[in-house]
Structure 1
Amino acid sequence: MRVRLALAAALTAGLAAPAGAQTAGCTIEARSDPPGQVLTCGGGLTIRTEPGTALGLIDRNRDGRPEGARLRAKGALIALPPGQGGFQVLTPHAIAAVRGTIWAVDVSAGQTSVFVERGRVAVRRPGGPAVLLAEGDGVDVKRGTGPLRVVRWAPARAAALLARFGR
């Protein structure tokens, strides 16, 4: 069942809003296998979340197409076709930005993990230098100032994260 929800006041101000609050141009659909929600927006943007995810959309220009999201807990799988503009995910530890790809972001109390299934994603700490992830790469971002280390994720780790979103 698809439900179209009204634009939340916090979202129109460019602030994060609860996962249940969407822009006028997005719909949300509950999924049961695996459990979670799928948010579908204009331009082919799709965000799949798992239960307990704390996600809020950012739509600064109020056009109904979010340009980012704040992710405070749990995980989200983001898909954006190439050529559809940019999208970024802000977490307590990192900023992941993309122009068109499929990637997953997982937030826990101590770190943010980013994995790229397809395409390329730039990841950085707020105010820090970015690293570029390619397909199969991941990075674990913890508080601090040490350099970010891009690694090729083991197939088991990548599969475990992607399985949380039915992939």
Structure 2
Amino acid sequence: MPRYHVVEAGRVVNTILADGPNSLPGALLVLDNGTAEIGWVYDDGVFSPPSPTPGPVPAVVSDRQFFHALAISSLITEAEALAAVRTGDIPTALQVVIDALPEPERFPATMLVSGAVEFRRDHLLVEAVRLARGMTVSEVDDLFRLAGGL
């Protein structure tokens, strides 16, 4: 059955049956064939479901998850991911970041990347990699979400 959708700020906030009231003060009413739902987006004459809300960002992921996610995201190669997990080899993209650190920070960073069994989202080296790679905070969060699901 056709319905009117009450749209405010581009979102469906209520639905009224087509044979119900045909006006509400200050609201945009849009007739639909019954597909849109409350919370859907209305833009340029088209209804669409809202983007899914991303899940929580894992605080910690294993080294396997971390390097696997980097490979899936094409930040390192699959061969580099396998070598990192098998032998502690540092992928080139991460070595470049380590080499750019001040001298006193290089050895601890090398030890961490080559020997860690887990990686923390809030570690300063993760932030250094983010900045060096020109990544946004959201992109790193998405990388950790991806890793957490592997």
Question: Relative to total residues, which structure has the larger strand share, 1 or 2?
Answer: 1
> Do these two structures clear the TM 0.5 threshold for a shared fold by scoring above it?
no
Question: Relative to total residues, which structure has the larger helix share, 1 or 2?
Answer: 2
Q: Structure 2-normalised TM-score?
A: 0.22
Which structure is larger by alpha-carbon Rg, 1 or 2? 2
